[in-house]
Structure 1
Amino acid sequence: MTITPSVIIFDVNETLSDMGPLAEAFNQAGMSASLTRPWFAELLRDGFALTVAGDNPDFAHLATDNLHRLLTQTSGPGKYQKQVDDIMGVFKNLALHADAVPGITALSRVADLVTLSNGATSVAQSLVTRGGVQDEFARFLSVQDAARWKPAREAYDYAATETGHTVDELLLVAVHPWDIHGAHAAGLRTAWINRTEATYPSYFTAPDIEAEDLVALAGKLTGP
């Protein structure tokens, strides 16, 4: 069944941004590139824990604190501000995935486009500006202005309020199954971007649409 939303809400980190360059940034800081994904997963885990406890943490603060502790664990006691700054510099200046520009352009003909990130709006704006598609977006939203992080219901309700639409008129696009599950619970329709041919977790609510990239998603939304 084709879904025609009024607004398409994009997750930002990993969904739009290609985090591949972080591996080399970790190497340059003296850490194994294999620590990149565990670092990001721990950052999300701690953010979710604080969200459950009723807090709305600052994404960048969690990211830098986790990096300081990881560097201490892997390299021993010391001052690592330069390494942290270098990694965060790469993280804040990532490029879009190769499918993002054509996909965003095509999707902008389907509905209004909005980002909703657990990070800062400035990071999302800079990301799409570097890709030359900033004008395709109607709004840039962050949970910093909501009550709690995604996947808490308040984050998605905030997006609905800010866009002036009911939650069932929104389509959440994300690579993270936890985001898909949270959006579904809040009443949004969902699209899971599966660039890695992963298996969707059975314990999360399945997405309404699965697509291998944003171009394919646009095709599914506009096709017969």
Structure 2
Amino acid sequence: MVAATLRDGFALTAAGSYAAFRTIGSDLLRSMLVAEGLDATDATVKSVLPGFTELHAHPDVAPGLMRLRELGFRLVTLTNGAAAMSEQMFAEAGVLQLLEHRLDVEKPGRWKPHATAYRYAAEVCKTQVDRMALVAVHPWDIDGARRAGMLGYYLDRRQTPYPQAFLAPDLTAPDLESLAETLAAS
């Protein structure tokens, strides 16, 4: 469902339109429920969607973010979903207080990988986009950030080849802790 939500958000952005992650996700979930012959009422949809707020951070996230902060990096998140959806995950990981901003694409009205989303983050942080780096596990996100002028740091958690169709990352690491140590050594 997440992949289909991203697909539809990307499609709307490409068409010059916007809808929130929750709206697109709700529509897709309703369609999936109907296709399976299940109850697709608003109550059912509203009971399933909160599951996104119960995701857990990977074990390397907290030590990696702490190390990056020690190194003097400003830490900001930018999501295609609602920024509030990740609050519980970051709080449980003990890193919520390390994050200067938790941003989403609602205000710019363009989903990542559109350049407007990344430039919005730079505006909020009051810095130039070329002074920022995006850390992500999705090659499409790295590519979008690079095309917008940011550095792109790819977390290759699955150890798979990076797609040649996308701009290559500036750095690749298997996890956030390793990335922080690579940056500390440079």
CA contact (8 A) 1:175 1:193 kept: yes
Backbone CA RMSD of aligned residues = 1.5
- 1:137 equivalent to 2:99? Answer yes
List alignment gaps of at least 5 residues for structure 2: none
Question: Whose relative contact order is higher, 1 or 2, with alpha carbons under 8 Å and at least 6 apart?
Answer: 1
- 1:95 equivalent to 2:65? Answer no
| Partner SS state of residue 145, structure 1 | coil
Aligned twin of 2:79: 117
Give the distance between the partners of 1:197 and 1:51, measured in 2 at CA.
30
* Structure 1 residues 139-177: Cα deviation after superposition (integer angstroms, max 9, x where no partner): 111110113111111111111111011111101011111
Among 193, 197, 220, which residue is 2:155 paired with? 193
- 1:70 equivalent to 2:70? Answer no
Aligned twin of 2:172: 210
- 1:104 equivalent to 2:74? Answer no
Give the distance between the partners of 2:61 and 2:159, measured in 1 at CA.
17
* Distance change >3 Å, CA 163–CA 191, structure 1 → 2: same
Q: Percent identity?
A: 39
CA contact (8 A) 2:52 2:85 kept: no
Among 107, 116, 119, which residue is 1:154 paired with? 116
Give the distance between the partners of 2:93 and 2:47, measured in 1 at CA.
22
Deviation at 1:217, TM superposition (A): 0.6
List alignment gaps of at least 5 residues for structure 1: 1-38
One-letter amino acid of the counterpart of residue 76, structure 2 = V
Aligned pair count?
185
Give the distance between the partners of 2:37 and 2:163, measured in 1 at CA.
37
* Distance change >3 Å, CA 90–CA 77, structure 1 → 2: closer
Among 130, 136, 148, which residue is 1:168 paired with? 130
TM-score (structure 1 length as normaliser): 0.78
| Partner SS state of residue 75, structure 2 | strand
Give the distance between the partners of 2:5 and 2:124, measured in 1 at CA.
27
- 1:85 equivalent to 2:46? Answer yes
CA contact (8 A) 2:130 2:151 kept: yes
CA contact (8 A) 1:172 1:191 kept: yes
Q: Which moved more, 1:61-70 or 1:124-133?
A: 124-133
